[in-house]
């Protein structure tokens, strides 16, 4: 039962096999280029690039933003300004519904109010409101969240508001400008800042 151990020949690897390997590699890389989604983590089939996916979201971005704004408003702002935006004079919170501050042409002033807070008294749509203090929200919300809240407030037709949407970069810009301001705004200071 003592067979010889097997030996091995030394024939070369067929050129056709190497050619097939090269061909499949080439094919594979072209497919990876076409279908791989650029190795992006958010690209799911059948989309092959992030831009394609984003293009399919044109309107709902806005709808989503407003919904997010409403949620954040109800949780954080409604205790004083009420969910209907009518304000609560008892704690010195002026109304947002129909407010001339809110409906200003640009959001320059309201963004500042949210970022750093406000010390009254303040005149809103002709009525004077007491000495309530609004807290700064700079460290609580991110830019996109402030933009969402303010867009919800400014565009809220049910409240009679019809101002423009607030963009993330607008908030980011003002946040940077007011970085060193360590205190609340007063209405007089704000009135010096252009609305747009």
Partner 1 sequence: MRATPSPAQSLPASDEGISTPVPAAEIDASCRAPILFLLVSAAVWVVISSVLGMIGSLKFHAPGLLADSAFFTYGRVHPAALNALVYGFGMQAGLGVILWMLAHLGRTRLVGNVGIVMGGILWNIGMTAGVLGILGGDSTGYQLLEMPRYATFPLFIGYLMIGIGALLTFHTRRERQLSSSQWFALAALFWFPWIFSTAEFFLVGHPVRGALQMVLDSWYVNNLKTVWFGFAGLAAIFYFIPKLIERPLYSHYIGLFVFWTLALFGSWGAIPPGSPLPEWLPTLSIMGALLTIVPILAVAINVYRTKGDCAKIKESRSMKFFLFGTLAYIISGLAGAVMLLRRVSVVVNFTWFLPAQSQLLLYGFVAITLFGAIYHIVPRLLQTEFPSKGMICGTFFLAAAGILLYCVPLAIGGILQGLGMNDAAKPFSEVMNSSLVFLRISTIGDFLMLLANCLLLLNLIRIHVRAGRTVAAAAWAAHSNTAGVRA
Partner 2 sequence: MNAGPFVFLASFFALAVSWLGFVLAPQLQLGNRQQVESRTTGDVYPHMRAGMARQGEQVYRANGCNACHTQQVRYKGFGGDYARGWGGRDSVVQSVDEDYLYDRPAMLGTIRVGPDLANIGLRQTNANILLQHIYSPTNSFPHSVMPPYRYLFEKGRKLAIGQKASDDSVAVEKGYEIVPTDEARALAAYLISLRQNELLYPETPPLTKPTNAVPATNAVKAAASTNNVNTNTPAK
Contact set with partner 1 (CB under 8 A)? 1-14, 17, 20-21, 24-25, 27-29, 31-32, 35-45, 47-48
Could you give the angle at the alpha carbon of 176 between the alpha carbons of 116 and 132, nearest 5°? Answer: 5
Asked if 154 and 114 touch (Cβ cutoff 8 Å), the reply is no
Under rule CB under 8 A, residue 106 binds partner 2: no
Supply 106's token pair: 């640009």
> How far apart are alpha carbons 82 and 130 in whole angstroms?
17
Piece in contact with partner 2 (CB under 8 A), picked from 3-11, 16-24, 90-98, 143-151: 143-151
Give the whole-angstrom CA distance, residue 158 versus residue 14. 77
Per the CB < 8 A criterion, the answer to whether 117 and 184 are in contact is yes
| Long-range contacts of residues 84-90, Cβ cutoff 8 Å, at least 24 apart | 84/159, 85/153, 85/156, 85/159, 85/161, 87/129, 89/129, 89/130
Secondary structure letter of residue 122 according to DSSP: E
Q: Please, which residue, 142 or 183, has the CB nearer to partner 2? A: 142
Q: Is 128 helix (H, G, I), strand (E, B) or coil?
A: strand
Closer CB to partner 1, 10 or 176, in the complex: 10
Residues 49-68 that bind partner 2 (CB under 8 A): 50, 53-62, 64-65, 67-68
Which lies closer to partner 2 via its Cβ, residue 46 or residue 126? 46
In the complex, least distance from residue 188 CB atom to partner 2, rounded to whole angstroms: 32
10-49 positions binding partner 2, by CB under 8 A: 39, 41-42, 44-47
Q: Which does residue 62 touch among partner 1, partner 2, none (CB within 5 to 8 A, set by kind)?
A: partner 2
Q: Indicate which of partner 1, partner 2, none lies near residue 183 (CB less than 5 to 8 Å, by partner kind).
A: none
104 interacts with partner 2 by CB under 8 A: no
If the CB atoms of residues 5 and 158 are measured against partner 1, the closer one turns out to be 5
Measured CA to CA in angstroms, residue 82 lies from 42, 53, 153, 194 at distances of 38, 37, 12, 28
Chain contacts with partner 2 (rule: CB under 8 A): 39, 41-42, 44-47, 50, 53-62, 64-65, 67-68, 70-71, 141-145, 167-169
């Amino acid at each position: 039962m003592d067979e010889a151990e097997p030996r091995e020949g030394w024939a070369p690897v067929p050129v056709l096999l190497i050619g097939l390997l090269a061909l499949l590699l080439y094919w594979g890389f072209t497919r990876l280029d076409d279908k791989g989604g650029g190795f992006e983590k958010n690209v799911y089939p059948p989309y092959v690039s992030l831009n394609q996916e984003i293009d399919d979201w044109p309107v709902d971005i806005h709808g989503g933003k407003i919904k997010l704004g409403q949620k954040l408003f109800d949780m954080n702002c409604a205790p004083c300004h009420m969910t209907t935006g009518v304000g609560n004079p008892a704690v010195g919170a002026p109304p947002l519904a129909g407010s001339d501050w809110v409906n200003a042409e640009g959001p320059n002033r309201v963004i500042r109010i949210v970022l750093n807070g406000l010390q009254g008294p303040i005149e809103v749509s002709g009525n004077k409101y007491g000495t309530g203090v609004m807290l700064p929200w700079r460290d609580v919300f991110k830019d996109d969240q402030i933009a969402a809240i303010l867009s919800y407030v400014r565009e809220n037709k049910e409240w009679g508001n019809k101002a423009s949407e607030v963009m993330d970069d607008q908030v980011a810009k003002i946040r940077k400008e007011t970085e060193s301001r360590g205190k609340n705004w007063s209405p007089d200071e704000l009135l010096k800042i252009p609305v747009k």
